Amino acid sequence: MSQSKNGESQTFTDFLRRIFKGVLDSMGSFLNRLGIRPNVVTFIGLLGNIMAGALMGMGHLFWGGLLMMIVVPLDALDGTMARLRGESSEYGSFVDSVTDRYSEIAIFSGLLIYFIRFGFWQDILLVFFATIGSILVSYVRAKAEANGFSAKIGLLSRAERYIILVLGIIFGFPKISLWILAVLANFTALQRIWHVRKQAKNL
């Protein structure tokens, strides 16, 4: 966990956005010149994740993971395009956040169907707890910020979760990735809850 110049915590997701800013700006400028809207990129990413989840549910883990890996960068690209257009807005951020959650649910749903068909009941519980942790990490931050607190901390931000999940799916060890998420994503949510509690006590 690093910190920005203003002292705010920086997640690994923020770090990646900063490292690849030049690449994202170039790609965003190109797509803007083509007349493609940021929301179009957002929904292409959502559709790609839904298709990836469907492939996993049908038993094609490698191809689902590969498609997931291809569309993940679109999550950063739509925001970059909006910024370059001077159209960044709270509503755009809201839409992006909502579609991110739908994307996560699509991926976990695909894995759930896969393990219902090919796994054991313990695997189904594993997907369940990994999903809870992943969704709660984002929910706790959103709820905290809505109430005037900061919750931009913790082990697994969205980038870490996706990297762990993609690697596990593509290389054939999805259970290991799910175990990591089931434990560490829920731990991250608890980290954020505790961080908000400390801020509330200092008011």
Yes or no: say if 151 and 8 are a contact pair by the CB < 8 Å rule.
no
Buried/exposed code over 57-71 (b: 16+ C-beta within 10 A; e: otherwise): beebbebbbebbbeb
100 part of the active site: yes
User: Closest Cα to residue 152, out of 141, 161, 140, 143?
Assistant: 141
Handedness of CA 30, 31, 35, 38 (dihedral sign): negative
- The single residue of 75, 96, 100, 123 carrying the catalytic annotation is 100
In angstroms, the first-to-last Cα distance of the chain is: 24
User: Closest Cα to residue 1, out of 192, 194, 152?
Assistant: 152
Q: How many CB atoms lie within 10 A of CB 27?
A: 18
Give SS3 for 10. Answer: strand
> 202 to each of 151, 152, 166, 191, 196, how far by Cα in Å?
15, 18, 39, 17, 10
Dig out the tokens for 175 from the structure: 């259970």
Q: Which residues are catalytic?
A: 100
